[in-house]
Each structure stands twice: as structure tokens, then as C-alpha cells.
Amino acid sequence: MPPSGLFVYTRLFSAIFFASSIALADSQDGPKDSVVLIIRHAEDGASDRGLTPRGQARAEAYKNYFLNFSVDSKRLVPNAIFAAKDSQRSHRPRLTVEPFAKAANLKIDMRFGNTQSAELAAHLRANQQGNLILICWRHQYIPTLLRALGADPKTFLPNGKWPSSIFDWVILLSYDHEGRLIPESSKQIKEHLMPDDPQ
């Protein structure tokens, strides 16, 4: 027996609604009414999973840096922290933000690994609206994370890549009430955190 007209119409409406919902979600760049700060892990040692003494000093300096973080005289202290998942080769993202996390009494969310930028971005869009989010990621995967959050890596990074020798940048992504990236409020910031960071 052929399906009734009402049944066909209902199925068609459901399919259109579902497709529209997916398109709407895909059109949202990041979490609504939020700011995302992205850093790479601090200086690394060639032979172990941790940080060099200089990297440990930068991680410790991040404590006061982010407790007092402000841009254009506006205080922007993170209230959520994400770090790339520990791997067999590196615990550096977690180690980089641990001093700040402890000082701010915040938990570090490490459920997402290097290749899960899309999943992290989807989680932020769904669950982190209205927050100021700090992400510590591995530098070679930051361009993919930027794209997942609706940002063009070439706008923030030379040739769209984070140089392996650079440790002192913060990328600030600002989102409006619809989760759209605000280009004029998004920028790359040079930390000048350590005495010999490039000026």
C-alpha cells in the first residue's frame, strides 16, 4: 500500500527540519557571547614529555598573567580551561596551564586530543556560551583548531602556521550573541611575558 500524503509530507518536513538544524549549527563559528584564548604549550625538552626550565618558568608566569588578563582595559580572566590530551610523547599542554588552573581553582578539561579540533569546537558551541575560555594546544594543530572555530589561520599566523620557535603569542577570538566571530575584536597578542621574549 503506498504511503499516505500526510505521511510523506510529515517525513519530508522532518528531513528538511533536520537538515536546517545541521546547517544552522554549522553556521555558528564559536560559543555565543564568548571569548576564546588560544596558546601553545610552553617551551619543551627534546627528550621527555615535560617542559624545559624556561617552559616551567613561562607556565608559572601564566598564573598571574591570566589572573590579571585584560585587553583594551577590559578584564578578561578565563573561567574555563581546555588542554590537549596527554599523550605518550607530551604532557606539555596540561603542564603549561596547571599553575593558572590551580590559582584560579579551575579544572583542566583534557578530553580532546590533537586531532579532535572539530569535536572541541562543537563542545564549545554547545556548552560554553557566555564564558571566557583558555585553550592550550600543540602548535602544529592550532591552524586546524582556528578553522574549526570559524577563523582563518592566515589572519592570525604567518602563512597560516604557528612557527615552531614561537611560544609567546595568545590568539583572542571574540564571538557575538549568535556565535559569529567578531573580526575587529579578534587578534594575535604578543605576551612579552618573559624578560627575553621578542619585543
Least confident of 37-41, 47-51, 113-117: 47-51
Domains for the chain: give ranges and CATH numbers: 29-190 (3.40.50.1240)
State the Cα–Cα distance between residues 68 and 20, nearest whole angstrom.
42
Are residues 72 and 98 in contact, defined by beta-carbon separation less than 8 angstroms? no
- Select from 137, 142, 78 the least CA-distant residue to 112: 137
Higher pLDDT: 86 or 5? It is 86
State the Cα–Cα distance between residues 121 and 86, nearest whole angstrom.
19
State the Cα–Cα distance between residues 102 and 155, nearest whole angstrom.
33
State the Cα–Cα distance between residues 175 and 188, nearest whole angstrom.
15
Are residues 137 and 40 in contact, defined by beta-carbon separation less than 8 angstroms? yes
Statement: residue 6 has pLDDT above 50: no
The model's pTM: 0.85
State the Cα–Cα distance between residues 73 and 36, nearest whole angstrom.
17
Q: What is the mean pLDDT of the chain?
A: 88
- Burial label, 40 (beta-carbon count in 10 A; 0-12, 13-18, 19+): buried
Sorting pLDDT into bands at 50, 70 and 90, what band is 92? very high
pLDDT score, position 96? 97
Residues 6+ apart with CB under 8 A from 53: none
- Biggest CA pair distance of the chain: 79
pLDDT score, position 95? 95
Percent residues over pLDDT 70 in the chain: 85
Statement: residue 10 has pLDDT above 70: no
C-alpha cell at 78: 578565563
Sorting pLDDT into bands at 50, 70 and 90, what band is 22? very low
